[in-house]
């Protein structure tokens, strides 16, 4: 059974970042996933130009995705 991935929007990104940073800080989770890898498993990330899959820093991943979301809103 295939699970449907969600669309990562501003609200979900903020929530995921908050939860991650409180639990794991800037590191990996208990499955050895980086924040960007975790987002790729849960959300449809192909709409983003920014590739955060290999980014080690949770904070940098969040910042790069947030910037792209803000740019997308400005151009709509």
- The reply to whether 1 falls in a domain is no
Give the model's pLDDT for residue 18: 98
Structural domains in the chain (count): 1
Residue 2 pLDDT class (50, 70, 90 cuts): low
For residue 7, what are the β-bridge partners? 44
Determine the structural domain holding residue 32 and report its residue range.
Answer: 6-75
- The reply to whether 12 falls in a domain is yes
- The reply to whether 32 falls in a domain is yes
| DSSP state string for the chain | -PPPPEE--HHHHHHHHHHHHHHHTTS--TTS--HHHHHHHHEE-TT-S---TT---HHHHHHHHHHHHHHHHHH-
For residue 58, pLDDT beyond 90? yes
- The reply to whether 28 falls in a domain is yes
Tens digit of pLDDT for each residue in 3-46?
789 999 999 999 999 999 999 999 999 999 999 999 999 999 99
């Amino acid at each position: 059974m295939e699970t449907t991935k969600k669309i990562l929007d501003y609200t979900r990104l903020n929530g995921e970042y908050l939860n991650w940073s409180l639990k794991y800080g800037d590191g990996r989770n208990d499955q050895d996933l980086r924040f960007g890898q975790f987002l790729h498993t849960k959300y449809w990330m192909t709409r983003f130009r920014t590739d955060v899959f290999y980014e080690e820093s949770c904070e940098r991943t969040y910042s790069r995705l947030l910037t792209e979301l803000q740019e997308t809103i400005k151009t709509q």
